[in-house]
Amino acid sequence: MTTEMFNFEENMVDICLKLLDRSLNYYDNPAKDARSRSDPIYVGRVITAMHCSVFRCGPASVKAVLEGHTDFKYDVPFVFAEVNADCIDWTVTDDGKKVRISSDTKRVGKFISTKRVGSRQREDITNTYKHPEGTDKERRNFVFATTRDYSRPEEMYEEIEEEDAGEVTTEEPGSGGTDEGATSEPLPPVTIRFKEVSRLINGKDVNLKLVLQSQSSDTRPLSIHISVQAMKYYGVPAGKILTEDKEETLLPGKVLSIPIVIPFSAYHRLMVENESMKVTAVITDKGDGENRYLATHDIVLMDPPISITAPAQVRLNALASGDVIFTNPINKTLTNCKMTFSGAGLFRRDIDCKPEEMYEEIEEEDAGEVTTEEPGSGGTDEGATSEPLPPVTIRFKEVSRLINGKDVNLKLVLQSQSNDSRPLSIHISVQAMKYYGVPAGKILTEDKEETLLPGKVLSVPIVIPFSAYHRLMVENESMKVTAVITDKGDGENRYLAMHNVVLMDPPISITAPAQVRLNEVTYGEVTFTNPINKTLTNCTMTFSGAGLFKKDLDFEIPDVLPNKSAHVKYHFAPYKKGVKTVIADFDCDSFRDIKGTCTVNVTE
């Protein structure tokens, strides 16, 4: 099950316990692990170890972090360092010498956030972990955290100032990222920033500009080293994308704009599994090699567009369908494609769907066809026309109600606006479809030879017997009827029409009192009549309902003869107030998930 906000299903405890059963602690010693699960600290550390490799973080007192009590359990020193650390940038020269470029006290510990209660919005909680940067309280608590002594803060301030002496750090805002430029006396100020030339979309080349401006009255020959790295979501480099060296001259009072292009071909392999790129520019003043400047810029690529549609309103336990469209944005065939669908209360598990499987048969038979959609009755009909043929309309018509257990009767209706008779070859195939759109098996195929007269309607009957579809439709949700129509006068001209058939369940009757009392045993009844000329075997009835049944209630039912009814009496003791729904689910060898529902109002 995919966990989402507000998703507190009644079996959530079982899900959590199953997660704990996957921990290294459980595999090492299941009995000891189970005994320790009454300790929330133990459980918290096991869970963090599972998503942070073998490293464990937490729990830690937020107030202790705020006040600098780094001697408190369990991971206060680590969390304190996380929110109060300074970032020092170094470069390594060709001879291996490390040169300190800048020190930034503000980069770490900003925008500490959590999810706002009852909302998908972010809530900033930075001030609960640290006092505002640079304030007296923040400095005082920092001294206490590192010395455990409030009595000599002045001495500690002096040590900090000595460490940072001579370092002047300036930050320049970048577009969509963080840019830092560091200047060191006696050089005049230099501003360094990145500019995004176009929208940053995954699948397209990334175009940036490195913009430098000098307030000096002298010309500055510069050596510029640019590197681009892929970054993991927790800030660790995942690999180098490209490096580039440039020699430029910065004129006094002028703006120097240096283009940076990161081709999709250079970044796509590393960015499949990673979240962002970091562009770093190290600029050396060739007049004095000891003077270096640094600028960094974080790039988060936008996803290519994907379109998903579904009905705005659907009914409980009724099949609904939607559509997803994704267009390949690159000049390369996408392989190993998969679409995963999830949603609390909609899917019992994540559904993986491979697009190439969906229309495999159609693509083999009708590759290159252009398909247009024509409205049909109760389904989706697509008709394809190709010049220079006159327009042809193709649609399906449902002759009777489509009920599981009965033969399906359709008509394929064609009409020509041509002045000539059209001899046609019609190939009809019917497939069972899984609920996520993948064919489950072939039900029937049929070939017909017909003539479409000018100005006339040609109606071709299609009958899908229950005996042909019932085996495959026990486990599947719908049928797809496909008609491929070939003009025999010109075999290259084909038309395609498709129609989705969703069968209605046979009727099932469920009754229960409209009003019931909390924790009081209540009775109801379900009746199901066998709609087919065959005995139903291996029959079961399952009852469920949030707030009514603490677990599913199963009944085994004797075989049901043709045209005979099965009657099941059930009982429940509601344990939650409000309007609740009783769900009855009938299964047998010939049918699956025949559901009936009724509502009850539970009061005290």
The b/e string for 388-408 (b: 16+ C-beta within 10 A; e otherwise) is ebeebbbbbbbeeebebbbeb
Residue 549 CB coordination number (10 Å): 20
Quote the Cα angle for 327-332-337, to 5°. 60
- Residue whose C-alpha is closest to residue 266's, from 241, 295, 237: 241
Has 133 been labeled as part of a binding site?
yes
What is the distance between the alpha carbons of residues 334 and 326, in angstroms, rounded to a whole number?
Answer: 11
Phi, psi of 12 (to 5 degrees): -65, -35
Has 556 been labeled as part of a binding site?
no
- Residue whose C-alpha is closest to residue 298's, from 244, 225, 237: 237
Is there a contact between 500 and 380 (Cβ–Cβ < 8 Å)? yes
Cis? peptide before 469, omega within 30° of 0: no
Sorted by sequence, the CB contacts under 8 Å of residue 601 that are 6+ apart come out as 514, 515, 516, 578, 579, 580
> How distant, in Å, are the alpha carbons of 68, 77, 121, 480 from that of 130?
9, 13, 22, 61
Has 86 been labeled as part of a binding site?
yes
What is the distance between the alpha carbons of residues 544 and 580, in angstroms, rounded to a whole number?
Answer: 11
Cross-strand partners of 372: 383
Secondary structure of residue 256 in the 3-state scheme: strand
- Known binding-site residues for Ca(2+) equal 84, 86, 133, 138
- Known binding-site residues equal 84, 86, 133, 138
